[in-house]
A = this chain, B = another copy of it.
Amino acid sequence: MTTLRASRARAPLAALSDTVGLLYGADWNPEQWHPEVWHDDVALMRDAGVNVVTVGVFSWATLEPRPGRFELDWLDRVIDLATEHGILVDLATPTASPPPWLGVLWPSARAVTAEGVRMSHGSRNHFCPSSPHYRERALSVVRVLAARYGAHPGVRMWHVGNEYGQVCWCEHCAHAFRRWLRARYGGLEELNRAWGTAFWSQRYDEWAHVVPPRAAPYLVNPTQTLDHRRFASDQLLALYLEQRDVIAEHAPGVPVTTNLMGFHRPTDYWRWAPHLDVVADDVYGDPAEPEDVVRVALSHDLARGLAGGGPWMVMEQAAGAVSWRPHNVPKTTAQLRLDSLRAIARGADGSCFFQWRASVVGAERFHSALVPHAGPDTALHRAVAAHGAELVRLREVVGTRVAARVALVFDWSSWWAAEEPGGPSTRLRVLPQVLAYYRPLWSRGVGVDVVPPGADLDAYDLVVAPQLFLVDDAHVPGLRRVVERGGVLLVGPFSGVVDRDGHVRRGRFPVPFADLVGGSGEEQVPLPPAGVRVRSELLGDVAVHDWAERLRVDDGEALATVEGGDLDGCPLVLRRRHDGGGEGWYVGALLAQDGVDAVVAACLAAAGVAGPAGVHAGPDVEVVRRGDVVFCLNASDGPRAVELDGAAGTWHDLLSGADVADRVPLAAHGALALIERTS
Residues of A in contact with B (beta carbons under 8 Å apart):
29, 31-32, 58-62, 65-66, 94, 97-101, 104, 111, 113, 115-126, 166, 195-206, 208-211, 213-224, 287-288, 320-321, 323-324, 326-330, 332-334, 358-366, 368, 372-375, 378-380, 421-427, 498, 501-509, 520-529, 546, 550, 565-566, 637
Contacts and interface: CB of A to CB of B under 8 A. Distances in A.
B117 A215 contact: yes
Contacts of A200: 58, 97, 123-124, 362-363
A201 B62 contact: yes
Contacts of A504: 358-361, 365-366, 373
Interface centre among A217, A321, A364, A425 (most CB of B within 10 A): A217
When all copies of this chain in the complex are counted, the total is 3
Interface centre among A115, A120, A220 (most CB of B within 10 A): A120
B196 A328 contact: no
B195 A326 contact: no
A323 to B, nearest CB: 5
Given A366-B423, A366-B524, A201 B61 contact: yes
Contacts of A199: 29, 32, 58, 359, 361-364
Interface centre among A166, A208, A366 (most CB of B within 10 A): A366
A525 B327 CA distance: 10
A379 B115 contact: no
Contacts of A29: 198-199
A249 B364 CA distance: 50
8 contacts: A58-B200, A98-B201, A121-B202, A123-B216, A126-B216, A196-B362, A221-B362, A374-B507
Given A122-B224, A200-B363, A378 B97 contact: no
Interface centre among A65, A216, A220, A328 (most CB of B within 10 A): A216
Given A123-B200, A198-B62, A506-B373, A220 B363 contact: yes
A498 B358 CA distance: 14
A334 B566 CA distance: 9
Contact of A323 (B31, B361, B378, B423): B423
A442 B193 CA distance: 49
Contacts of A104: 208-209
B58 A328 contact: no
B195 A361 contact: yes
B217 A526 contact: no
Nearest to A287: B528
Contacts of A373: 504-507, 509, 522
Contacts of A421: 363
A94 B29 CA distance: 53
Nearest to A565: B637
Interface centre among A201, A213, A421, A546 (most CB of B within 10 A): A201
Nearest to A669: B566
Contacts of A378: 522-523
Nearest to A33: B198
B422 A363 contact: yes
B201 A361 contact: no
Interface centre among A124, A361, A366, A421 (most CB of B within 10 A): A361
A173 to B, nearest CB: 13
B201 A523 contact: no
A425 B421 CA distance: 32
B361 A209 contact: no
A509 B529 CA distance: 43
Contacts of A32: 196, 198-199
Contact of A123 (B219, B363, B366, B521): B219
A375 B324 contact: no
A637 to B, nearest CB: 8
Contact of A119 (B216, B221, B506): B216
Contacts of A125: 217-218
Contacts of A365: 222, 422, 498, 502-504
A509 B373 CA distance: 9
A164 to B, nearest CB: 13
Contact of A122 (B124, B211, B359): B211
B59 A201 contact: yes
Contacts of A220: 122-123, 363
Contacts of A380: 522-523
A58 B320 contact: no
A387 B507 CA distance: 23
A194 B288 CA distance: 34
B94 A550 contact: no
Contacts of A360: 196, 503-506
Nearest to A206: B101
A505 B217 CA distance: 38
Contacts of A503: 360-361, 365
Given A98-B201, A100-B203, A365-B422, 20 more contacts: A32-B198, A100-B202, A115-B115, A122-B202, A195-B361, A221-B363, A222-B362, A222-B363, A327-B427, A327-B546, A328-B425, A330-B523, A332-B566, A360-B503, A360-B504, A361-B504, A366-B422, A373-B507, A374-B521, A380-B523
A240 B205 CA distance: 27
Interface centre among A101, A334, A373 (most CB of B within 10 A): A373
A551 to B, nearest CB: 11
B422 A216 contact: no
Given A125-B217, A288-B528, A375 B507 contact: yes
Contact of A204 (B100, B166, B550): B100
Contacts of A100: 202-205, 209-210
A94 B321 contact: no
A329 to B, nearest CB: 5
